[in-house]
Structure 1
């Protein structure tokens, strides 16, 4: 089980969801964080990003495939996630078993801007979408 952070959660606009869709958190990623499984791979990816913003390590771990999930996720107190751009997605719909989502997540580390660019793979596991890991380029 993930350790609980002893620091205060990152400041979060409670009206707008951190995932960038421009909707209210309570209508966007909030239900996923409360236990309602996202319907698509992209919705799961957005809810995972929002969980990182909110330092919700339990959700991040629970939405990770058990075969690739780390033992723990420790929030970095110097890192703040500040924006998400979904670049493209493939599969990951209501009738799919697999999907990919390419995104760019923006952050500030010790006040300096940076970004994480990833194409992520998602699978259905026990009927719900889970994060498998990054799609790695062929060797």
Structure 2
């Protein structure tokens, strides 16, 4: 995520754990948030190669279960009972879909899906609702 001089990289390259597919993430839209997080991280005197390290094992990242607990607690604090590990991904995808004038190809690419049908299903849309939009 960060260059050695502390600046945010333009892209991050990841492999999707579930599918094994490669994905390139564009980081510029969240650059300010990443820098704010980095400053907080340094103030806490934390040292790890992971963006979200385990508090018990800083040489490892937090687990999916721990991330779910964090999201669930955040949801409780906000009075949202459906906040989970995929909520931000789905919400972000739907927002891109509507803000891009329903460009399903763009969303499909961002989610690294292999078909438009898969992306429409993921967004909870069927063909009829898509045509109505």
TM-score (normalizing by structure 1) = 0.24
TM-score (normalizing by structure 2) = 0.25
Structure (1/2) with the larger strand percentage? 1
More relative contact order, 1 or 2 (CA 8 Å, 6+ apart):
1
Structure (1/2) with the larger helix percentage? 2
